[in-house]
Chain A
């Protein structure tokens, strides 16, 4: 598969089916062929990024953050295009906004995010279903530690006439800090013939889960590590090593 690699906004490799240019202080990435992209941010990068995904194109994007205080993404998906994101954040502070336009029939956007927050982190999504048969799946799993605070704001908009659209958002925060975390799931739906689900949870792991693991001889801290790794890794295909390393360091 064609692979795009970018570090802190700098292009390391770019396949021919992807055109990247800077227009009006925005980094525009036009995807004309199926692709895989690795974006990593180890320094602050503030330029907005616009993904234009052409008809029928399937793309997967892997994002890794060690830094990146404020980043804004816009996605425009044409007919029957599919974009899947896997995001892992290990930054000290984070504010990410994603605006998704599912502009034509059959466009699909899928985002799985795992984060361990040591400071304040805000993740905002605005997902506009503008055509029938469009789909969006958002899964945010976050864990706070020390001064960590997480705010998930996910807003879906389904216009009238966007029948057979699917909206699904799951947001969970396991809070180990004393700060207040928030989840704001908003579903603005003006079409009867669509499917919409959301779930939100802020808390800790269930006592019964810990008891079950400990009843097999697993010590409390290891049981917690297992649950945390499972929680953050669930549904993800990448970043296992990074997730495990942080958990093994901070939940000893």
Chain B
């Protein structure tokens, strides 16, 4: 059982506080969703967990199992089993997807890395995600549409088999078919590998395919409210402001997610 634990985390960028005493614990076999208004620090949270050096931790800790992540480099965190599917995957000219993934996997697997199974798995995953085969030989995300970029993130997740999966608005810019493919593929990966997943999204529609165990509402750098999947439905119906003020728990079974077994 793997566990990501964030304790009293305070983060700044250019002396501006982004996260304020943020706490969260995610275990293998759990899907957590973070929702919230724009500018509340959701995407920042995923980048901080992954070690983006633009952000400065002023207090608090991030643990992967018993390893303190605070001072580890991004690549060290990735090799421990963390993965971030970014909101706006960038274009990198000249570095092909295949070269990129082969390099990443050969570092992790060292002498156990085998080229043929790698190629076979990549081709199968490309087919599953209904991507064009030639895309794996193109520069990373070069000339890809928004949907293709998101599928490429999911392809990388399948290839790298992370234990902790952070997905930042993986549904943004997807048409209905791509949303279904991406959503079902993530869920299949979850069912097969049982990682811990932290999903940032604005829309309930992704949760038609990915079934969360916990939904958290985030505002001003902290979690305001937590519940199960029904909380996302309530947000969709009522909006953040009403949900934030609402005392009722009939449609939103608030759980203490930290104590969840």
Contact = CB atoms under 8 A, between A and B. Distances in A.
A213 B100 CA distance: 8
B54 interface: yes
Interface stretch (A47-55, A101-109, A115-123, A225-233): A225-233
A233 B104 contact: no
A200 to B, nearest CB: 16
A229 B92 CA distance: 12
Interface residues of B, number: 30
Contacts of A234: 93-94, 139
B73 to A, nearest CB: 7
Contacts of B52: 211
Given A226-B100, A234-B93, A215 B74 contact: yes
A219 B132 CA distance: 29
B107 A209 contact: no
Interface string A210-228: 0111111111101100110
Nearest to B93: A234
6 contacts: A206-B90, A207-B53, A212-B86, A216-B104, A223-B75, A234-B94
B93 A231 contact: yes
Contacts of A24: none
Given A212-B90, A222-B107, A217 B79 contact: yes
B230 interface: no
Interface in A188-216: 206-209, 211-216
Closest 3 pairs (CB-CB, A-B): A230-B94, A234-B94, A230-B95
A229 B102 CA distance: 15
Contact of B95 (A211, A219, A229): A229
A171 to B, nearest CB: 15
Contacts of A218: 75, 78, 100, 103-104, 107
Contacts of A208: 90
B84 interface: yes
A220 B78 CA distance: 12
A222 B103 contact: yes
B90 A209 contact: yes
Interface in B107-144: 107-108, 139-140
